[in-house]
Homo-oligomer: A and B are copies of this chain.
Amino acid sequence: MLLASSKHAFAGLVSQTGKRCFSVSKLYASQATSFAVNGERLWNDIHHTAKWSGPSPGGVTRLCADENDKMVRDWFRDQVLALGAEYKVNATGTQFAKIDGTDNSLPPIAMGSHFDTVATGGKFDGALGVLCALEVLRSFKEQNIKTRAPLVAINWTNEEGSRFFPPLGSSTVYAGQSTIEAAHASTSNDGSPLTMGSELTRIGYVGDGPNTFEEFPISAHFEVHVEQSTDLEKAGKSIGWVQGWEGMTWYEAVFHGQNGHANTYPMHGRRDTLQGAAKFMTSLETLAYHMGGRSTVTSLQSGPIGSCNIQSKTKVVFCVMHKDGDSLLKMGEQAQQSAKAVSALHNLEHDWKRTLHLLPGDFTPEAVDCVARACGDKGIGSRTLTGHDSLSTLLKAPTAMVFVRSKDGISHAPEEWSDKEDCADGASALGKSVLNFDDYLEHQSK
């Protein structure tokens, strides 16, 4: 992915992020210094929206375009309409809530994240980001804070990719990396014939709102998210500014063998894809330790279904992660070598596909600096270990993220947790980041 920030001039100072950056806050008085949200209201929203969930004790299971996703979307629509926002839904279901600024010729400053969760996920991943955006809009209105640029709160569709693959389903269309047709055709991870398009249609969330940056440009994109690792916790900080991300790549390996009777077929000579896949999965674990990265098998599907068949086809979906781009690529190459080796051992054939690939990178320095100054002493610089919709918007506009401390770094689990005060700090930092960026825009225009 390429950074899109070259069009923005830097003021030439070194910020807390350690990057050369501008220092607009030192030149202009800002409303950002004293801004704070209503943390109690945000906390109530977090728990209120968590009720729209499939069975998931302690957590939230709200899969893209399921009934609960529809409910939380309807609620979000009602909240932003009550604020007087201009509301749109686009063809891939993403919700936009725009509030006027004092100069509506400027592209709006966006605050976005996602309401969809993984299966047996938590209350915070995604939802916190959208609810912080909503809380900022509410607090700005209550506190009569008016930005020069318009603002837009965004609920991006299918960030997780947990029901329909691939993830970042709508923001990649917005960034020109995918198409509406491809996003609609996203297939079910559980093998059902439903697609993201058919399910969005079913819940009434295929709209005529803007689909791409070109149709609806933004000045910047800011996103609050739980950290999902432990840097903030270890540093004793409630929030952080996200400087960039580690690299990650998803692969699919499909092994093809031979059908046979589970009881009667001799051991030697079998072409058992599940035994091949077992050795392949073990090799991925070893690979991660050898390379100082991480690897996870996220899905294994084998067939034929039954209680008396040698498994003649097995699909293994996995991801590898590394902070270094070359090492990330090497992990993929070595994984493929393992697939070849187990295929030779078990006389299998295999297909190999790289489905998503993201080299490590950095967010836009001037946007990161806005977040860093918004965090102040409450924060530190951090890096995300996974993908977010902000990686899509970064291709088109200055982008940065606010991290909120995660207890024990646990996420994608019912045990996911961030304290009330930390969530409020995150929302306040989001509002301040937006105000900082609005100041920056004003400075740039002069």
Report B-chain residues with C-beta under 8 Å of the C-beta of A272.
296-297
Q: B259 to A120, Cβ gap below 8 A?
A: yes
In the complex, A262 has a CB within 8 A of chain B: yes
Nearest-Cβ distance from residue A185 to partner chain B, whole angstroms: 16
Q: B288 to A311, Cβ gap below 8 A?
A: no
**Known A264-B386, A267-B289, A294-B267: A309·B167 in contact at CB below 8 Å:** no
Report B-chain residues with C-beta under 8 Å of the C-beta of A250.
307
Using CB atoms, name the residue of chain B closest to A270.
Answer: B296
In the complex, A110 has a CB within 8 A of chain B: no
Nearest-Cβ distance from residue A70 to partner chain B, whole angstroms: 19
Report B-chain residues with C-beta under 8 Å of the C-beta of A415.
259
Which of A36-44, A156-164, A176-184, A215-223 interfaces with chain B?
A156-164
Q: A189 to B228, Cβ gap below 8 A?
A: no
Which of A236-244, A392-400, A406-414 interfaces with chain B?
A406-414
When the two chains form the complex, which single residue of B263, B296, B311 contacts A294, counting CB atoms closer than 8 Å? B263
Report B-chain residues with C-beta under 8 Å of the C-beta of A282.
275, 278-279, 282
Using CB atoms, name the residue of chain B closest to A312.
Answer: B120
In the complex, A327 has a CB within 8 A of chain B: no
- Indicate with 1 or 0, residue by residue over A377-410, a CB within 8 angstroms of chain B CB atoms: 0000000111100000000000000000000011
Greatest chain B CB density within 10 A among A119, A306, A414 is at A306
In the complex, A300 has a CB within 8 A of chain B: yes
Q: B264 to A307, Cβ gap below 8 A?
A: no
Q: B263 to A304, Cβ gap below 8 A?
A: no
In the complex, A302 has a CB within 8 A of chain B: yes
- The CA-CA distance from A386 to B307 in the complex, in Å, is 12
- For A, the interface residue count at a CB cutoff of 8 angstroms equals 70
Report B-chain residues with C-beta under 8 Å of the C-beta of A414.
259
In the complex, A165 has a CB within 8 A of chain B: yes
In the complex, A371 has a CB within 8 A of chain B: no
Using CB atoms, name the residue of chain B closest to A319.
Answer: B262
Q: A304 to B262, Cβ gap below 8 A?
A: no
Q: A263 to B386, Cβ gap below 8 A?
A: yes
When the two chains form the complex, which single residue of B261, B296, B299, B311 contacts A305, counting CB atoms closer than 8 Å? B299
**Known A263-B319, A264-B385, A413-B259: A120·B279 in contact at CB below 8 Å:** no
In the complex, A376 has a CB within 8 A of chain B: no
Greatest chain B CB density within 10 A among A189, A261, A304 is at A261
Tell me the A241-297 residues at the B interface (CB within 8 Å): 248, 250, 258-267, 272, 274-275, 277-279, 281-282, 285, 288-289, 294-297
Report B-chain residues with C-beta under 8 Å of the C-beta of A167.
307-308
Q: A274 to B300, Cβ gap below 8 A?
A: yes
Nearest-Cβ distance from residue A178 to partner chain B, whole angstroms: 15
Report B-chain residues with C-beta under 8 Å of the C-beta of A129.
none
- The CA-CA distance from A210 to B138 in the complex, in Å, is 72
When the two chains form the complex, which single residue of B61, B384, B413 contacts A260, counting CB atoms closer than 8 Å? B413
Q: A297 to B309, Cβ gap below 8 A?
A: no
Top 7 nearest A-B pairs (CB, nearest first) are A162-B306, A259-B413, A119-B304, A263-B386, A278-B281, A262-B296, A264-B385
6 A-B contacts, Cβ less than 8 Å apart?
Answer: A61-B304, A260-B413, A261-B385, A262-B296, A267-B294, A298-B306
